[in-house]
Amino acid sequence: MLRTFVAIDLPVAIQEALDSFERELQKAQAPITWVKPERIHLTLKFLGDVAPERIPEIGKSLEEAAGAVSPFRLQASGCGAFPSVKQMRVIWVGLKGDGGALNKLQQGVEVAMAELGFKREDRPFRPHLTVGRVKGRQHLRTLQELLIARQGFEAEAFDVTELVLYKSELRPEG
């Protein structure tokens, strides 16, 4: 079985901006597992374990869902934490731009995958880029201050022109 998810990849320029953003927050020396910038993506749908022989049909359905939406622009903008900055467990960078097209694409993926038997997501879609996961409470006040100071973060806009079906491998190091 392959652990899979559907996402939008980020251009190198955005990865570099996120790398700089992470390095600033790392100054807090808080216990965070940082996502390597080249692995940051915008998840549209987590599929879970999939038999390898199903990949072609999933790919075909994703092509159809993507074809229903014209290319659009997004921009990494703002930052925060889930569930909140005071109780942070996940550090994220937000997105702005053509939210209507993004939502149409995400809903198209959701419907296409439901038609193939994948469970629909119960939670509303909240587009974000996960940059770190909190692993402890030390130095969190400093991290909170740095995060609040960076709420105006912005990277250049980029065009969304394709979907990616990822295989995810769980390892002890992430």
Q: Catalytic residues, which ones?
A: 41, 128
Query: Which region, left, alpha or beta, applies to residue 78 given φ > 0 means left and ψ of -120 to 50 means alpha?
Result: left
Q: Is 21 helix (H, G, I), strand (E, B) or coil?
A: helix
Distance CA 35, CA 56 (A): 29
**How many beta carbons lie within 10 A of that of residue 136, not counting itself?**
9
Distance CA 11, CA 84 (A): 28
Amino acid, single-letter form, for residue 137:
R
For residue 150, count CB atoms less than 10 angstroms from its CB and return exposed for 0-12, middle for 13-18, buried for 19 or more: middle
- In sequence order, what are the residues at sequence separation of 6 or more whose Cβ sits closer than 8 angstroms to the Cβ of residue 118? 45, 47, 48
